[in-house]
Amino acid sequence: MDHPLDVAIIGSGINSLVAAAELALAGKRVCIIERSDRLGGFIQSAERTLPGFIHDTFSSWHPLFVSGGAYSALGEELHRRGLEYCNTSGPVTASVAADPAIGAHRVVIAHRDPAETAAAFKEPRDGAAYLAMLDDLGRNAGTVFGAFGAELRSFGEVAKIAFGAVGRGRFSGTEAFVRDSVMSGRNYTRSRFDGWEADQLWSPWLLHAGLGPDQATGGVMLPVMAMSMHSFGLPVVKGGASQFVAAFESLLRDNGVRIMLGAEADEILVDSFGAVAGVQTSQGVVTADTVLANVSPQALYTQLLRQPPAGTAEAAERYQNGRGAMQIHLALDRPVEWLDPRLNSVPLVHISNGSDSTGIACAQAEADLLPSEPTVVVGQQCVLDPSRAPEGKATLWLQLQEVPFSPVGDAAGQLSVAEGWTHELKQGYLERVLDRLEQFAPGTRATVLASDILTPTDLSSANPNAVNGDPYGGSAELFQNLLWRPFPSAAGHRAAVQGLWHIGASTHPGPGLSGGSGHLVAQKLTAKPSRFSRIQSALKPSKR
């Protein structure tokens, strides 16, 4: 512990792995401090049910990673170390719902080909409107994705995005695009489509961005989700998500990164000049001039910093976490057989009629009630990667993103929540979820060989960044997103303490497996200093 480092990183989720890899490849001496006995945060796979059945324990799908800057920088190195993706060239995602008005099911499927997707829309104008939606985003992609990869509190970086838009002639129609972007997903689809398909297909995907269908910025995230999957599919890691972490670990160790497992970060040390000096851990002091903290705002400003900048501890305590989530892993005796056989080959299916059922379930969860008809995310990884299960059998990855951490009641009035997430409550909610699935894939319950359930309290125990069981690092509503994430007095990744940087899902660009904040900060720490910054640095008093 007596060898000074350039950078110490607290936590080992996707943003930490990305930052550590890019910094180490640039010649920095790096250390990762991880409280768990493994790397990866919410990236893990394991035989959670029966031998031979490999389940992605938490996260699973990688379209945001393969489409982002971190993959551009590290993808070749990771593939050299065994990373392999399984993907689809056909159907990507779908949504299915009951339609009492017609006494049948409504099914809508997104294919990699946008034109094939749009051709199935029933209302005459909706096919063209769908392609226009993607075209609108494409014309503004430099601005949108530039903002996701920039420090929005930096005048220089925002000006660069704006000047780039001017250079591309993108300010024509900008006001309309901005207006659409801050709409909710529900209002966005209402404003552009006559039929139900686009709403049913993409509104449930807003849950994966930490939003609900009635929250602002759905109008930009909905087309971003659509464009990402049309362009990049829904890749999963061959053999399970832990192979992704293994490729990173190989890269890190090959480049001299010190990995400390089972090490709790107790305090970020600050010297008498007010600059970072290292991290006090349960295994000793790690000395470093730069610290990247991949932790919640609550942990950073109320625990790790003993004397946080004025007002930040109070603001962190008021930081709002989103809804809790739940994971259900099933080992099946055979793959799911849907009433609509087209769904048998779709990697991910939502059980939702769009904004209506998902909006109701979100409202119930926000009121700390167990939703009566939850949106069920049905992940069929074996469609892409048959190695996940023994021959002829299958895994199922069910995600519920509208679940209260501490339920006070059941919206259906059937389940007792008096003692919290007991075994009985877990099993009762599992049966509700299976009832939903049985409507569209009857006989699935009879094929279940084993199950494993992770409640919001389990997620919080597994990862302290999942405060109140929220895996998305805090609500992504507009008031604490983009320019204001995590909150105004601490927005941006560079903290008020010299040498301290905040990364992770609770920082811009928010949740997801893009590695965006880790990449952004690594790029800043490895960039050649400008003439102005060199002069500014020379004028600062030395802290040694």
What pLDDT digit, counting tens, does each position of 74-126 carry?
A: 999 999 999 999 999 999 999 999 987 777 799 999 999 999 999 999 999 99
| Residues 302, 257 share a domain | yes
Check whether 167 has a pLDDT greater than 70. Answer: no
| Residues 276, 174 share a domain | no
Asked if residue 365 is part of any domain, the answer here is yes
pLDDT score of 161? 47
| Residues 456, 329 share a domain | yes
| Residues 226, 123 share a domain | yes
Check whether 528 has a pLDDT greater than 90. Answer: no
Confidence of residue 153 (pLDDT cuts 50, 70, 90): low
Asked if residue 525 is part of any domain, the answer here is yes
| Residues 221, 132 share a domain | yes
| Residues 79, 19 share a domain | yes
Q: Residue 84 class from Cβ within 10 Å (0-12 exposed, 13-18 middle, 19+ buried)?
A: middle
pLDDT digits (tens, 9 = 90+) for 1-14: 557 899 999 999 99
Three-state DSSP class for residue 75: helix
Asked if residue 149 is part of any domain, the answer here is yes
pLDDT score of 160? 52
462, 490, 523 - which closes a domain: 462
| Residues 337, 252 share a domain | no
Asked if residue 48 is part of any domain, the answer here is no
Got the DSSP string for 76-120? HHHHHTT--EE--SSEEEEEEEEETTTTEEEEEEEESSHHHHHHT
Average pLDDT over residues 216-237: 95
CB 394 within 8 A of CB 336: yes
pLDDT score of 533? 52
- Report residue 404: phi and psi, to 5°: -75, 145
462, 495, 525 - which closes a domain: 462
Confidence of residue 311 (pLDDT cuts 50, 70, 90): very high
Average pLDDT over residues 186-197: 97
What range does the domain containing 476 cover? 5-43+56-85+239-319+472-539
pLDDT score of 100? 77
176, 200, 232 - which closes a domain: 232
Q: Residue 213 class from Cβ within 10 Å (0-12 exposed, 13-18 middle, 19+ buried)?
A: buried
Asked if residue 106 is part of any domain, the answer here is no
E strands, 409-447, in order: 409-410
Amino acid at 460: S
pLDDT score of 147? 62
| Residues 209, 257 share a domain | no
| Residues 501, 406 share a domain | no
pLDDT score of 156? 58
Average pLDDT over residues 143-147: 65
Confidence of residue 175 (pLDDT cuts 50, 70, 90): confident
Check whether 440 has a pLDDT greater than 70. Answer: yes
Question: What CATH code is carried by the domain that includes residue 432?
Answer: 3.90.660
Asked if residue 390 is part of any domain, the answer here is yes
For 456-460, which contacts have Cβ atoms below 8 Å and span 24 or more sequence positions? 456/324, 456/325, 456/326, 456/403, 456/404, 456/405, 456/421, 457/405, 457/420, 457/421, 458/421, 459/58, 459/324, 459/325, 459/326, 459/327, 460/405
pLDDT score of 240? 98
Question: What CATH code is carried by the domain that includes residue 310?
Answer: 3.50.50.60
* HEC readout, 343-395: HHHCCEEEECCCHHHHHHHHHHHHCCEECCCCCEEEECHHHHCHHHCCCCCEE
Nearest CA to 88 out of 377, 345, 399, 343 is that of: 345
**How many domains are contained in the chain?**
3
Asked if residue 51 is part of any domain, the answer here is no
Asked if residue 458 is part of any domain, the answer here is yes
Check whether 152 has a pLDDT greater than 70. Answer: no
Highest average pLDDT, of 104-108, 338-342, 540-544, comes from 338-342
pLDDT score of 233? 97
pLDDT score of 359? 97
Q: State the CB neighbour count (10 A cutoff) for residue 97.
A: 22
In this structure, of 140-149, 201-210, 270-279, 399-408, the range with the lowest mean pLDDT score is 140-149
| Residues 423, 477 share a domain | no
| Residues 400, 493 share a domain | no
| Residues 401, 333 share a domain | yes
pLDDT score of 2? 56
pLDDT score of 95? 98
pLDDT score of 159? 47
pLDDT score of 399? 98
Mean pLDDT of the chain: 92
pLDDT score of 1? 52
